[in-house]
A and B are shown apart, each in its own frame.
Chain A
């Protein structure tokens, strides 16, 4: 099994080596790993769209380990790629390797997560979605849909995780503007369907069948899908009795939106190649100071989309 993987890996490496001879722009991309649904889709999109931009993409999967990622980045530097894109595994420990890249005159772009470095000039910019913005979008939609009056139950993501913290902050930033909007119950559903269902079941009991509750805000679609089931099982009509807004826009929530069981979902794009490559290629043609964070716009989808 492992031999097969190694063989496949080396074939892949040879193929990409051959491709790099073609004279296209060579970019090294160090990805975190392949956990969950979103990240593999993100990797695939980066690889697929590379052709459209005449980019020879050298892809390295760090399998969730920073040392693996540092090794990949150093390999990119040694190969003398034109630019390096990093989706960091962790936020710290980047100063040395980024300095090495800078010394080699290779610009570094961050995608997805952030890093903490003393010298911000070590990387060109971070191109990513904004969890906080996602929360604000959801909050804004809900404020409009409820005309500023709404008691909300919230299904949080895994306690302490960045998306959970930022989506909550963004959401609260908006609804705090409306005195008649408040979160009356909040609990962690661990980003899972099972967790969302459990939490919603408890909310249903503790609020006397969601009496007076006008909306459910879930930090991801999976939890919202669980909540929808729990509500249906309790004889409630999600989407009608209660407004349902969540984040991710996974295929299953599209079905729920179509059926009217969910009302809105903020898209966390996996198809971001089209946002990232133009920034990188533009910079290579014409190096200049960029903002340290370029936000990939988040779109809110409703049943109409």
Chain B
């Protein structure tokens, strides 16, 4: 009886150890625990101005745009592609919002225009990758380089020296709340749910994973690989534009040069921390969000740590390397070999 019990325990533990979810979650937990030591009232959550307020809420709030971009990135990476232009898409969406608000359009229409711009960016990338067969990293580099310039050009349409603006609708996205939860987090959850439905309740997710896993085999099985890849870039562009709306609502300015700088790298990192492989073939939506949370928790803890800002990037790099090492099968095999050795 006893041995049987032990077996069950072992398989449970092994399953947990084998699960790809455990390592990023563990990393997130460790970061949050360390934060508790750094700042004693780290976990405090109060209600300020009618909404939840505190470091933990902040991490969710700040991680939302990165997570949204990372979800789009996960879809593209699922096709064995990559989209470096997400930051530029955000800049363009932000510039369009500021421009049209100055022009006096209805704010709902402006929202649609910004998202439309994201779709247009996705169509462009999709055309280059799926239509012309250019390697994704090169194809999306084009918009990555030019996109922020396009944003600055849009700023020039209305003078451009003062791109800040007021908008009640966008203010709601930034500081609004539904019950006690900041609207931005709700919007993020809604986008996650919508993407999950589109990928998992239609066959799109299966097709994307099939194309990313083996494009030749998928084509012979009747999947239209080109259209699927095209759609993936459009999804990514649209999600980047969503993040663009949120970020623009946050600062109420259009700042194409520096808005969401290096967000493409954070997004790729979030996908990879979440267990995604750049070799394509699998999309892990939930884990990608965890990845984004790990990155944001790290950023927040550096900010509250009081360490000189010169250390920020190095600490971030070290933690990321550590998490990725934990993800690596080889390193894990090394550890389990050690663990498996009988103790003296």
Chain A residues near B55: list those with CB within 8 A. 202, 205
A233 touches which of B175, B261, B309 (Cβ 8 Å)? B175
Known: A159-B309, A205-B54, A206-B39. A193 touches B255 (CB 8 A): yes
Tell me if B257 is interfacial: C-beta within 8 Å of chain A.
Answer: yes
B258 touches which of A187, A192, A201, A233 (Cβ 8 Å)? A192
Chain A residues near B312: list those with CB within 8 A. 159, 188
Chain B, range 234-258, C-beta contacts under 8 Å to A: 247, 250-253, 255, 257-258
CA distance A233 to B250 in the complex (A): 11
Tell me which of B4-12, B207-215, B299-307 binds A. B299-307
Q: Please tell me if the beta carbons of A233 and B304 are within 8 angstroms of each other in the complex.
A: no
Q: Please tell me if the beta carbons of A35 and B303 are within 8 angstroms of each other in the complex.
A: no
Tell me if B259 is interfacial: C-beta within 8 Å of chain A.
Answer: yes
Q: Please tell me if the beta carbons of B164 and A229 are within 8 angstroms of each other in the complex.
A: no
Chain A residues near B2: list those with CB within 8 A. none
Known: A35-B257, A187-B309, A208-B41. A199 touches B162 (CB 8 A): no
Q: Please tell me if the beta carbons of B162 and A252 are within 8 angstroms of each other in the complex.
A: yes
A251 touches which of B48, B162, B258, B261 (Cβ 8 Å)? B162
Q: Please give the distance in Å from B41's CB to the nearest CB on chain A.
A: 7
Most-contacted residue by chain A among B164, B255, B257, B303 (CB, 10 A): B303
Known: A199-B303, A234-B53. A252 touches B164 (CB 8 A): yes
Q: How large is the interface on B (under 10, 10 to 19, 20 to 34, 35 or more residues)?
A: 35 or more
A168-212 CB mask vs B (1 if < 8 Å, else 0) is: 000000000000000001111011111101110111011010000
Q: Please tell me if the beta carbons of B48 and A234 are within 8 angstroms of each other in the complex.
A: yes
Q: Please tell me if the beta carbons of B162 and A194 are within 8 angstroms of each other in the complex.
A: no
Total inter-chain residue pairs, C-beta < 8 Å: 84
CA distance A186 to B306 in the complex (A): 7
Q: How large is the interface on A (under 10, 10 to 19, 20 to 34, 35 or more residues)?
A: 35 or more
Q: Please give the distance in Å from B146's CB to the nearest CB on chain A.
A: 11
Q: Please give the distance in Å from A280's CB to the nearest CB on chain B.
A: 27
B251-284 CB mask vs A (1 if < 8 Å, else 0) is: 1110101111100000000000000000000000
CA distance A188 to B62 in the complex (A): 17
Q: Please tell me if the beta carbons of A235 and B48 are within 8 angstroms of each other in the complex.
A: yes
Q: Please give the distance in Å from B210's CB to the nearest CB on chain A.
A: 38
Chain B residues near A233: list those with CB within 8 A. 49, 174-175
Q: Please tell me if the beta carbons of A192 and B255 are within 8 angstroms of each other in the complex.
A: yes
Q: Please give the distance in Å from B183's CB to the nearest CB on chain A.
A: 12
Chain A residues near B306: list those with CB within 8 A. 185, 206
Tell me if A37 is interfacial: C-beta within 8 Å of chain B.
Answer: yes
Chain B residues near A194: list those with CB within 8 A. 247, 250-251, 255, 258-260
CA distance A194 to B53 in the complex (A): 19
Tell me if A36 is interfacial: C-beta within 8 Å of chain B.
Answer: yes
CA distance A193 to B174 in the complex (A): 14
Q: Please tell me if the beta carbons of B304 and A202 are within 8 angstroms of each other in the complex.
A: yes
B303 touches which of A198, A222, A251, A252 (Cβ 8 Å)? A198
CA distance A197 to B249 in the complex (A): 12
Which B residue's beta carbon lies closest to that of A226? B251
Which B residue's beta carbon lies closest to that of A236? B48
Q: Please tell me if the beta carbons of B58 and A202 are within 8 angstroms of each other in the complex.
A: yes
Chain B residues near A202: list those with CB within 8 A. 55, 58, 300, 303-304
CA distance A195 to B259 in the complex (A): 9
Tell me if A133 is interfacial: C-beta within 8 Å of chain B.
Answer: no
Q: Please tell me if the beta carbons of B58 and A197 are within 8 angstroms of each other in the complex.
A: no
Tell me if A216 is interfacial: C-beta within 8 Å of chain B.
Answer: no
Chain A, range 214-249, C-beta contacts under 8 Å to B: 222, 225-226, 229, 232-235
Q: Please give the distance in Å from B176's CB to the nearest CB on chain A.
A: 10
CA distance A195 to B247 in the complex (A): 11
Which A residue's beta carbon lies closest to that of B155? A37
Which B residue's beta carbon lies closest to that of A184? B306
Chain B, range 295-325, C-beta contacts under 8 Å to A: 299-300, 303-304, 306, 308-310, 312
Q: Please give the distance in Å from B26's CB to the nearest CB on chain A.
A: 24
Tell me if B161 is interfacial: C-beta within 8 Å of chain A.
Answer: yes
Q: Please tell me if the beta carbons of A186 and B258 are within 8 angstroms of each other in the complex.
A: no
Chain B residues near A186: list those with CB within 8 A. 308-309
Which B residue's beta carbon lies closest to that of A36? B257
CA distance A187 to B251 in the complex (A): 19
Chain B residues near A185: list those with CB within 8 A. 306
Q: Please give the distance in Å from A227's CB to the nearest CB on chain B.
A: 11
Tell me if A41 is interfacial: C-beta within 8 Å of chain B.
Answer: yes
Q: Please tell me if the beta carbons of A41 and B161 are within 8 angstroms of each other in the complex.
A: yes
CA distance A242 to B123 in the complex (A): 47
CA distance A287 to B42 in the complex (A): 64
Chain A, range 10-59, C-beta contacts under 8 Å to B: 35-37, 41
Q: Please tell me if the beta carbons of B62 and A205 are within 8 angstroms of each other in the complex.
A: no
Tell me if A156 is interfacial: C-beta within 8 Å of chain B.
Answer: yes
Q: Please give the distance in Å from A31's CB to the nearest CB on chain B.
A: 17
Chain B residues near A190: list those with CB within 8 A. 258, 261
Which A residue's beta carbon lies closest to that of B42? A205
CA distance A37 to B55 in the complex (A): 34
Q: Please tell me if the beta carbons of A193 and B253 are within 8 angstroms of each other in the complex.
A: yes
Additional A-B contact list (10), CB under 8 Å, known A159-B309, A233-B174, A252-B164: A159-B310, A186-B309, A194-B247, A194-B258, A205-B41, A205-B42, A205-B55, A205-B304, A233-B175, A235-B49
Please list the 7 inter-chain residue pairs (A to B) with the smallest Cβ-Cβ separation, ordered nearest first: A202-B303, A188-B309, A206-B304, A193-B251, A192-B258, A235-B49, A235-B48
Q: Could you tell me which A residues sit within 8 Å of B by CB distance? A: 35-37, 41, 156, 159-160, 185-188, 190-195, 197-199, 201-203, 205-206, 208, 222, 225-226, 229, 232-235, 251-252
Query: What are some 7 contacts across the A-B interface (CB < 8 A)?
Result: A191-B258, A194-B255, A194-B259, A194-B260, A233-B49, A233-B174, A251-B161
